Amino acid sequence: MRYKVKIEPIGVELNCDDGQTILEVCLRNGVWVPHACTHGTCGTCKSRILQGEVDFGLASNFALMDFEREEGYVLLCTAKPKSDLIVEADVEVEEGIEFYPVRDFLGKVVDIYECARDTRKVYIEIEDGKISYLAGQYIQLHIPGTDQNRAYSIASKPLEGGNSVIELQIKKVPGGLGSRYIFDELKKGDFVKFTGPFGRFVLRKFYDNPILFLAGGTGLAPIKAMILEAIESGMRQDMYLFHGVRSTRDLYDQDVFIKIEQENPNFHYIPALSEKLPEDEWDGELGFVHEVLERKFQKFSGFKAYISGPPPMVDACVKVLMRGRLFGEDIYVERFFNEKDRVSGGSKVGTVSRI
């Protein structure tokens, strides 16, 4: 069955095949609507149905309340048409940024290894063609034997003409569907299916403000891509990377950022441990990212900030930045929520399922 989906206020009419979500058909046709988690948790893609009927799908009751459903609101990432539709959406056009349409890909795992405690790097070579994306975006990796996908940020620098190989950085989470697949089943030589690119957490290269990159754990992945892109593009403003992990066993890619720091006097690398263990040989920063950030700076006005990691870390950093006079229009976030947030609730800003 195929339905017509008209997107207002731009008046674009799209064909939606049976089983496709409204978000999917929009992104595949180059209509960029707000989205983040793509699995019904965050509420970023909330829009109103002006005409027609939908299947709400697995939308979280926290992200989409019962009274909102009664008023005609849906989450585009889970809603599927049951008739022709007219949808009122907040279509995004940001000057200076051109998003790429979402596509399906088949890839082969050409390398996989543990780069830190319970953390793996996975390198995927695309079998037919290349993927074009913006630094900071993510893919949805299909989990074999299920109808589920899991989102993982691309850590590789985007290349002109597209990338034939991409790097993912994945943290093991007990009980996680994606974690079980990545750590217990996936091996070098396996073929994988994925879709992308997704996300609005991207580097804005047209600003010349100094930049704060704040990463917690594997929240480093999208920020690594941003930093590599910024350096390659010749961005000369001061850039600071704060990467917070628990102990030295959780720290990785130090060699990459130390080398960048040595070659670029405008780049500053500040790794931090939240807990120094007896076996840790460490004379660097101690504390959570937001604590180290606050020790280094008192005022943040004039900066742009990119924050990626677990929700408590992101929220703590945002509070510190706001106390230092940096506000929403200059702060970009990516919160790494997991699947349980569909049931327990989550944030409505920049969420992505990672396990």
Residues of the chain with pLDDT under 70: 92-93, 337-355
Residue in the block written with tokens 């399906």: 104
Amino acid type, 324: G
* Contact in structure between 64 and 72 (CB atoms under 8 Å): no
Amino acid type, 239: M
- Residue 309 has a pLDDT of 93
* Contact in structure between 142 and 194 (CB atoms under 8 Å): yes
Domain ranges within the chain, ordered by starting residue: 2-88, 103-198, 211-353
Phi/psi for 101 (5° steps) reads: -60, 150
What's the chain's length in residues? 355
Which are the contacts of 266, defined by CB distance < 8 A and separation ≥ 6? 236, 237, 238, 239
Per-residue buried b or exposed e for 283-300, using 16+ beta carbons within 10 Å of the residue's own CB? eebebbbbbbbbeeeeeb
- Residue 1 has a pLDDT of 83
* Contact in structure between 47 and 74 (CB atoms under 8 Å): yes
User: What distance in Å separates the CA atoms of residue 312 and residue 277, rounded to the nearest whole number?
Assistant: 22
- Give per-residue pLDDT as tens, 302-354: 999 999 999 899 999 999 999 999 998 899 998 876 555 444 444 333 333 33
Query: SS3 for 319?
Result: helix
Which are the contacts of 226, defined by CB distance < 8 A and separation ≥ 6? 135, 136, 202, 203, 213, 306
For CA atoms 192, 137, 350, 116, the dihedral sign is: positive
Residue in the block written with tokens 């742009």: 304
Q: How many CB atoms lie within 10 A of CB 106?
A: 13
* Contact in structure between 339 and 246 (CB atoms under 8 Å): no
- Residue 342 has a pLDDT of 43
* CATH architecture for segment(s) 211-353: 3-Layer(aba) Sandwich (3.40)
DSSP per-residue codes, 84-148: -EEEE------TT--PPPPEEEEEEEEEEEEEETTEEEEEEEESSS-B---TT-EEEEE-TTSS-
Phi/psi for 323 (5° steps) reads: -65, -30
- The DSSP call for residue 154 is B
Strands 46-51 and 73-75: antiparallel
For CA atoms 35, 178, 188, 169, the dihedral sign is: positive
User: What distance in Å separates the CA atoms of residue 347 and residue 337, rounded to the nearest whole number?
Assistant: 9
- CATH topology of 103-198 equal to that of 211-353? no
Domain covering 103-198 assigned CATH 3.40.250.10 in the classification? no
Give every strand in the sheet of 331-337, ordered side by side.
285-286, 267-273, 239-245, 211-216, 304-309, 331-337, 351-353
- Give per-residue pLDDT as tens, 115-134: 999 999 999 999 989 999 99
Give every strand in the sheet of 191-198, ordered side by side.
149-153, 138-142, 191-198, 103-116, 119-126, 165-171
Any idea what the Cα angle at residue 137 is, between residues 195 and 55, rounded to 5°?
Answer: 50
Return the CATH superfamily for domain 2-88: Beta-grasp domain (3.10.20.30)
Burial of 282 (0-12, 13-18, 19+ CB in 10 A): middle
